[in-house]
Amino acid sequence: MRMGEGVEWGLHCCLTLAWLDSDQPVPTARLAAWFDLPPAYLTKRLQALVRAGILSSTPGSKGGFRLGRQPEKITLMDVVTAIEGPDDVFRCTEIRQRADGGGAIAREFRQPCGIATAMRKAELAWRRELAGLRVADLLAAAPGGAADRTRRHYARMTG
């Protein structure tokens, strides 16, 4: 399984916005410069987070993004789903029914495919784990001083 880089971008932007905890929106250009990311692509990812209610956006020259909810109310799974979509990672197309030229017996397929069952079980465990972790947990686990460094760096960028 491979997630797109937008998940990492979205999570880091959520952490940064939480550390800044500003009433003023943070422009995409500043976030893009901060992480050395292409602004147009970052905007698409951030807008997906807005549609999911994770971020809020303010249009215009003084616009940008803020957290749309408290960090305690944003799970990692929320961000993954907003960026990657809600679809299952594994999609069983029942190729077993086509095996041997399609001559398999129908009763062999009464039980769910063992591969699909195992993959679903693994995916549910992964989703539960991400749903149990919140942006607030990432903030708490960050190295000491990360929030202060973020605020100082942002002040230099804007000041």
61-115 pLDDT tens trace: 889 999 999 999 999 999 999 999 998 888 888 877 766 665 666 667 778 788 9
Contact call for residues 7 and 86 (beta carbons, < 8 A):
no
- What's the confidence (pLDDT) of residue 42? 97
- What's the confidence (pLDDT) of residue 104? 61
Strand partners, 134: 75
Architecture category of domain 5-158 in CATH: Orthogonal Bundle (1.10)
Domains in the chain: boundaries = 5-158
- What's the confidence (pLDDT) of residue 99? 67
pLDDT tens digits for range 29-56: 999 999 999 999 999 999 999 999 999 9
Which pair of tokens denotes residue 129? 């784990």
CA gap 80, 37 in Å, rounded? 19
pTM of the predicted structure, to 2 decimals: 0.86
- What's the confidence (pLDDT) of residue 94? 80
Which residues have a Cβ under 8 Å from the Cβ of 80 and sit 6 or more positions away? 3, 7, 130
